[in-house]
Every structure is written in structure tokens, then in C-alpha cells.
Amino acid sequence: MRIRPENAADVDSIRQVNRLAFGGNDEPRIVDRVRDSADPIVSLVADDDDVVGHILFSPLTLGHGNARLLMGLGPVAVMPARQRQGIGSALVLAGLEECRRLGVAGSVVVGHPEYYPRFGYTRASAFGLTCQFEVADDVFMALELVKGAFDGGGLIRYHPAFSE
């Protein structure tokens, strides 16, 4: 299995992975909208002769006038039959590495509070961050890729595709 950037031939497979992993069409629609309207994005697939996993990082805004490049992690999806085999972890690690390469200062995620800390994510509230969506404090997490990425705290807003 290898982790690589998505390409145009992967779009239908990415939709299918997200549909099966999340049991609906919301995540595939979000991925399509983000792909069509956000820049930059990090969109990687886990390829094992077929696409078996996908991860997306998309740009965020923090408060008013923060010029740092910040990215939201999500969704991350793995085919149900391939879950719990390290594919999701490999996608997260590769995605964070690509974010560092692009100069991303920090990342946030709304996710399982016992999964994402293994990658360095901690409660976003410790950085003074709040989320535009109503989520519990323990599931909204942040990771500084550059020290001071979240200085001053504030409201994190996801790409509009997440609200549509």
C-alpha cells in the first residue's frame, strides 16, 4: 500500500470510500465541494491496487486578519473492511507531513479524543480556540506545526463547504 496525492481518476473511488466509511453522502459531497473551491488542499489516498482510504485537509480561518495558513483535518475515511490496519494513521501522518511541506502553521480536527492525540493534537481550548460548530471541548483539537500558530486564539471557521 502507498499513500499518494489524489488524481482525477480517483474521484469516484474517494466518494465510495467516504460513503461507506461514514454511511451516507454528506462527506462525499463535502470533499467534492472543497476540491472544487478551496486552495490549497491536501487530499491523499491510500492505494492498495484500489483506493482503500482518503484524507482531506482544507484551509481554515482564525479570528479576524490571521494571515497564517491553517488547515482542518477531515474527513479521513477507510474502507470498512480495511479499518484497524493502520491505514488511517498512515494517512494522517502523511497528510501532516504534506502540510508541513506546504508551510501550514497549524491544524485542527473534530474527532475522537482518544485517537488524534497520538499525532500531537490536544484540546483546542488550550490555545484559546473555539469552533464555529457546536462541538464538545474534548473532540475539538489543535496541533501547532509552527510554534505560535494559534497565538491570540479565536474562532476557527471551516471552509464554507462544511456548512452548505
Provide, rounded to the nearest whole percent, the portion of the chain with pLDDT above 70: 98
CATH number reported for the structural domain that contains residue 101 in this entry: 3.40.630.30
Q: What is the pTM of this model?
A: 0.95
Burial class (CB in 10 A: 0-12, 13-18, 19+), 119: middle
Per-residue model confidence as pLDDT tens digits over 78-103: 999 999 999 999 999 999 999 999 99
Domain that holds residue 85: 2-162
> What's the pLDDT at 63?
83
Q: Residue 68 has which C-alpha cell?
A: 497564517
Segment 129-142 shows an average pLDDT of 97
Domain count for the chain: 1
Nearest CA to 76 among 158, 32, 7, 18? 18
Instruction: Report the half-sphere exposure of 84 (CA within 13 A, side-chain side).
Output: 2
- Cα dist. 92→39, 97, 143 in Å? 19, 9, 12
Which letter, b or e, does each residue of 51-68 get, where b requires 16 or more Cβ atoms within 10 Å of its Cβ?
A: bbbbbbbbbbbbeeebeb
Please say whether the beta carbons of 138 and 113 come within 8 A.
yes
Segment 134-138 shows an average pLDDT of 97
> What's the pLDDT at 64?
66
Contacts of 79 (CB under 8 A, 6+ apart): 17, 20, 21, 52, 53
Q: Give the three-state DSSP class for 105.
A: coil
